[in-house]
């Protein structure tokens, strides 16, 4: 298990680095959404894999994409708000993400006990995918300030 977590961490770090190039080529919003959405679909697929090696492979593929939205989201927010509001905007965005995190294990455990062992993976991937699609729908026509 430690080898999987180690590999996942390396893949996440690499995806953050690659995000810069992808964002420059395809745009910040497109990079955020169209790398995060496949990542979330892979998250949904993890518990559906018939063997542990396949589940680990899908999970590692997910980690290879999962962090590309982080640097591009930060750059997008910085571009969208006035310079004097950037710190507050970043703090608000990060706080919202961190406030929700402690509830994950509680909700995940409840889903595993009442629905199925793989339910947390499916629910998390579905919610994250909905977020990506809503984000893209709401901001795809909003031009970044020059």
pLDDT digits 0-9 by tens, 77-95: 989 999 999 999 888 988 9
Q: Is residue 14 one of the residues assigned to a domain?
A: yes
pLDDT at 94: 84
Q: Is residue 66 one of the residues assigned to a domain?
A: yes
pLDDT at 119: 96
Structural domain span for residue 101: 2-139
Summarize the confidence of residues 32-60 as an average pLDDT.
Answer: 96
- In this predicted structure, the answer to whether residue 54 has a pLDDT above a threshold of 90 is yes
Burial class of residue 86 in the structure, from the number of CB atoms within 10 Å of its CB (0-12 exposed, 13-18 middle, 19+ buried): middle
Report the distance separating Cα 16 and Cα 123, nearest Å. Answer: 25
Would you state the structure tokens that stand for residue 80, as one six-digit string?
A: 């969208």
Domains in the chain: how many in total?
Answer: 1
pLDDT at 145: 81
Report the distance separating Cα 12 and Cα 20, nearest Å. Answer: 13
pLDDT at 56: 98
- In this predicted structure, the answer to whether residue 144 has a pLDDT above a threshold of 90 is no
Q: Is residue 71 one of the residues assigned to a domain?
A: yes
Q: Is residue 145 one of the residues assigned to a domain?
A: no
Q: Is residue 146 one of the residues assigned to a domain?
A: no
């Amino acid at each position: 298990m430690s080898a999987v977590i180690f590999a996942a961490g390396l893949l996440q770090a690499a995806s953050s680095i690659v995000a810069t190039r992808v964002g420059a080529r395809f745009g910040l919003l497109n990079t955020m959404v169209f790398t995060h959405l496949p990542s979330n679909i892979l998250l949904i697929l993890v518990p559906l894999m018939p063997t542990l090696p396949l589940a680990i492979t899908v999970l590692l593929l997910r980690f290879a994409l999962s962090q590309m939205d982080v640097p591009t989201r930060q750059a997008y927010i910085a571009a969208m708000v006035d310079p004097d509001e950037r710190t507050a905007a970043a703090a608000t965005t990060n706080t919202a993400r961190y406030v929700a995190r402690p509830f994950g294990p509680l909700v995940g455990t409840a889903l595993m006990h009442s629905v199925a062992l793989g339910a947390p993976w499916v629910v998390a991937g579905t919610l994250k995918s909905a977020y990506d699609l809503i984000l893209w729908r709401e901001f795809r026509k909003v031009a970044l300030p020059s």
